[in-house]
């Protein structure tokens, strides 16, 4: 049972344009969402997060939007740069505290072309 879904395995965007990566979840208990970025042969690195009490969080070129009623979140990257080419994972957590853990989606491979 995949509780966090990323239905687009890959995405290609031209440099300077907007990249939009989507994520859907099924577990209503999830209340914190994160995006991770992964380069080949490296571990994932934290990118940006959002609490369920918010609908938007922005950090530089990266913005995450949360639609709780639709159980959907998206990551916007503007403008996209070649160095953004990587696999992006959406992750979700239920509850807070030291016992909390992340459930990951299957990832979307972003390719930013010149």
The contact set with other proteins (CB under 8 A) reads 4, 6, 9, 32, 34, 36, 41-46, 49, 51, 89, 93, 96-107
Residue 14 or 26 having the CB closest to other proteins: 26
Sequence-distant contacts of 46-50: CB under 8 A, at least 24 apart: 47/75, 47/88, 48/75
For 67, list phi and psi in degrees, rounded to 5.
-120, 95
The CB-of-106 to other proteins minimum distance in angstroms stands at 5
Decide whether 16 or 55 has the Cβ nearer to other proteins: 55
Q: How far is the CB of 96 from other proteins (least distance, A)?
A: 5
Output the six-digit token pair for 68. 């709780």
Q: How far is the CB of 4 from other proteins (least distance, A)?
A: 7
Within 8 A by CB and 6+ apart from 112, the residues are: 12, 13, 14, 15, 19, 80, 81, 82, 83, 84, 85
Q: Indicate the residue among 99 and 114 with the shorter CB distance to other proteins.
A: 99
Residue 15 or 59: the one with the smaller Cβ distance to other proteins is: 59
Edge-to-edge strand list for the sheet holding 56-59:
4-5, 19-25, 72-77, 62-67, 56-59
Shortest Å, Cβ 64 to other proteins: 13
């Amino acid at each position: 049972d995949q509780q966090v879904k990323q239905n687009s395995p890959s995405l290609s965007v031209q440099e300077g344009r907007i990249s939009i990566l989507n994520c859907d979840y099924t577990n209503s208990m999830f209340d914190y969402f994160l995006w991770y970025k992964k380069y080949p042969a490296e571990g994932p690195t934290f990118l940006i997060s959002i609490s369920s009490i918010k609908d938007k969080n922005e950090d530089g070129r990266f913005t995450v939007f949360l639609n709780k009623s639709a159980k959907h979140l998206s990551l916007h990257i503007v403008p996209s740069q070649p160095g953004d080419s990587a696999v992006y994972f959406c992750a979700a957590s239920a509850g807070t505290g030291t016992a909390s853990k992340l459930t990951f989606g299957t990832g979307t491979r972003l390719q930013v072309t010149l």
